[in-house]
Amino acid sequence: MKKKTLEDIQVNGKKVLVRVDFNVPVQDGKITDDNRIIQALPTIKFLLEENAKVILLSHLGRIKKQEDLQKNSLKVVSERLSELLGKPVKFINETRGQKLEDTINNMKEQDIVMMENTRFEDLDGKKESKNDSDLGEYWASLGDVFVNDAFGTAHREHASNVGISSRLETAAGFLMEKEIRYIGSTVESPERPFVAILGGAKVSDKIGVIENLLNIADKVLIGGGMAYTFMKAQGYNIGNSIVEMDKVDLAKHLLEQAKGKIILPVDFAVTKEFSADAPYRYTDYKSIKEDEEGLDIGPKTIKLFKKELKGAKTVVWNGPVGVFEFENYAKGTKAICEILANLENTRTIIGGGDSAAAAIQMGFKERFTHISTGGGASLQFLEGKELPGIESIDDSVDCGCEGSDCEC
């Protein structure tokens, strides 16, 4: 998958529209996790160094009613970005109009402008989310070239990504390029042995991922709430553990299809009450009582997973293996972090979402080859699906020559 990157386009003196993913958590007017802003800095800094005029577009939260406008303004994000860059970021509190147009037209080289939340356009007819043609054309008219660096929205066909890219020369930013390189190449041609770890609550969320990974992975380790549906499919008592009864037959089919590739937990941390402080015990998969529910994998499973991961050359992990928000049930997820962090000569990729949040929160941010910034986008990429936000980026031109004599 060869797409244009920043090094394939001319940006000097140009108005460069950049779709970033600044959909960060905000509580009481303060950003609680600025990782997505930090991940976009290399692209923004490169454009500034190349004397571009940088115009940033992003969404933040969902806009369903008038009250959502104030709490989902990007103003707080622009202020944090300004701090990180050490230079002013001009925030315009509108998504279209004379004020925005005049500000952009008066920009100098190395200026940065951030417009208001693109999903403010969803308040009246979901113009952003439904890729309204007029809106995409209007936003495209504000710039000379488009850089898509928002992998987190790559699985969506919105006006602020596909709508703009269909009208302007489009390249991938550094973050998007990284996501394509690591996750895309892993799906297409992983270095083997290739082991996938899947967690999270529901089988239904990851049916396509499991099916695709069974075709390309050497092993698929399953933990988290979804493991209990597979245990139920094998006829074991799971007590009050989370289960999708309508997916039990599917789980049985997947186990048959896997032919030994799927590795399930052999013990669990179980409790009688879903709370952080309730007493718990470890038990094997055959001894869960009727009034108990599993909230984490146990020490025997950690040893088993460590054995299965030994020697792996490529590992993809998506979804925590326990209720990591509770300290008592974060041990399995932390153990997975430690195992992966200590693998040698292994490409380790975390596929966004809660597993990425857990790895960062637990202090393993720098210990993996790549931590994806996209939850839903990562899942669809792992399913082998085409992502509209990536497909709409211009293909790079392959001149056909090779070696040291190539002058392309």
**DSSP notation for 165-201:** HTTS-EEE-HHHHHHIIIIIHHHHS--SSEEEEE-SS
CB-based contact 316:286 (threshold 8 Å): no
Of 390, 228, 209, 172, the residue nearest 316 (C-alpha): 209
User: CB neighbours of 374 closer than 8 A, spacing ≥ 6?
Assistant: 21, 151, 152, 153, 154, 155, 179, 352, 381
Residues in a beta bridge with 169: none
Does 202 participate in catalysis according to the annotation? yes
Catalytic residue among 208, 376, 384, 385: 376
State yes or no: is 126 an active-site residue: no
Beta bridge partners of residue 318, listed in sequence order: 198
| 313 labelled catalytic | no
**Catalytic choice (75, 126, 167, 202):** 202
- 152 carries an active-site annotation: no
Answer whether 209's CB lies under 8 Å from 187's CB: no
CA 370-372-378 angle, to 5 degrees, is 125
What residue type is assigned to position 78 of the chain?
Answer: S
Nearest to 128 by CA among 118, 113, 140: 118
Task: Please tell me which residue in 4, 36, 206, 247 is annotated as part of the active site.
Answer: 36
Q: 63 near 198, Cβ under 8 Å? A: no
- What positions carry a catalytic annotation? 36, 202, 353, 376
